[in-house]
Amino acid sequence: MATSLKNLSEYDSNYVPDASAISVGIVVAEWNSEINYKLLDAAIETLKKHGVSEVNIFVNFVPGAFELTYGCKLMAESYDVDAVIAFGTVIQGETPHFTYICQGVSYGISELNLSFDIPFIFGVLTTNTLQEAQDRAGGKYGNKGVEAAITAIKMALLS
């Protein structure tokens, strides 16, 4: 469903399982930090709201979106986590760089999901403009961080 048809922050909490027994890793790209840190803050708030203890939320930072895959791999190998969320923002520019980065990160996160026994959540915004990213990081379309946190909880507890 297109984001313009759904608010990323709206969900029915009745369908979110108790997350008090899980731990979550979050890897955040520093590039476009003004957007990514809003995603991070919303995710942490949502995880805690559903029972994840603050001591069971681990956060690491990587330089940019392309480095998210390796950062997520290290998170899964170095911490006892039940899910890993990747946050980054890639904004369309004048060169094909956008396409290469988006494809690489998408493929990398997909591969991690197949290589590990925990879910890796794709919380990467791929937008045409800065305004579109802002709209999805607490703006008119809600916050992708909330959606990613709920997805991490549901996938970590999937049986």
The residues annotated as belonging to the active site are: 97
Per the CB < 8 A criterion, the answer to whether 89 and 128 are in contact is no
Distance (Å, whole) CA 55 – CA 78: 15
In degrees rounded to 5, what are phi and psi of residue 59?
-125, 130
- Distance of CA 2 to CAs 5, 50, 136, 141, 157, Å? 6, 26, 12, 10, 26
